[in-house]
Amino acid sequence: DTEVTQTPKHLVMGMTNKKSLKCEQHMGHRAMYWYKQKAKKPPELMFVYSYEKLSINESVPSRFSPECPNSSLLNLHLHALQPEDSALYLCASSQVQLAGINEQFFGPGTRLTVL
């Protein structure tokens, strides 16, 4: 299985809602990532988990809360989002960097709209 899956595909939420994005991989990768991508822009790193521990937080607002319950799952909990948070949220996974190879595999993304 060489796939990263993400659910849901689309999500519409109000500014007072709480929702969660889910990501799963079964490639045995021990590094997992959340990215945010706006239209016509490159992916922007939000969080990195390495061996289920948060290793990088790119100064993301606390209304985004990541969670890595086990080596195959990654969640992103959303609360009190703003309309400017509307974007494609991408999950990726990779081996923990080995000999300079950083081969990240991306999921299809969750298209989030905040009303």
Partner 1 sequence: QQQVKQSPQSLIVQKGGISIINCAYENTAFDYFPWYQQFPGKGPALLIAIRPDVSEKKEGRFTISFNKSAKQFSLHIMDSQPGDSATYFCAASRGGATNKLIFGTGTLLAVQP
Report the relative pairing of strands 4-7 and 53-57 from DSSP bridges: unpaired
Q: Which stretch binds partner 1 (CB under 8 A): 14-22, 45-53, 62-70, 74-82?
A: 45-53
How far is residue 66's CA from residue 70's CA, in Å, rounded to a whole number? 12
Is the bond preceding residue 8 a cis peptide, omega within 30 degrees?
yes
The two three-digit tokens of residue 59, written as one number:
């100064």
User: Which of 11, 43, 68, 78: binder of partner 1 (CB under 8 A)?
Assistant: 43
Residue 78 touching partner 1 (CB under 8 A): no
Return the SS3 of 59.
coil
Q: Which of 54, 56, 61, 113 binds partner 1 (CB under 8 A)?
A: 56
The residues of the shown chain that bind partner 1, judged by CB under 8 A, are 4, 6, 31, 33, 40-43, 45, 48, 50, 55-56, 88, 90, 92, 94, 96-97, 100-109, 111
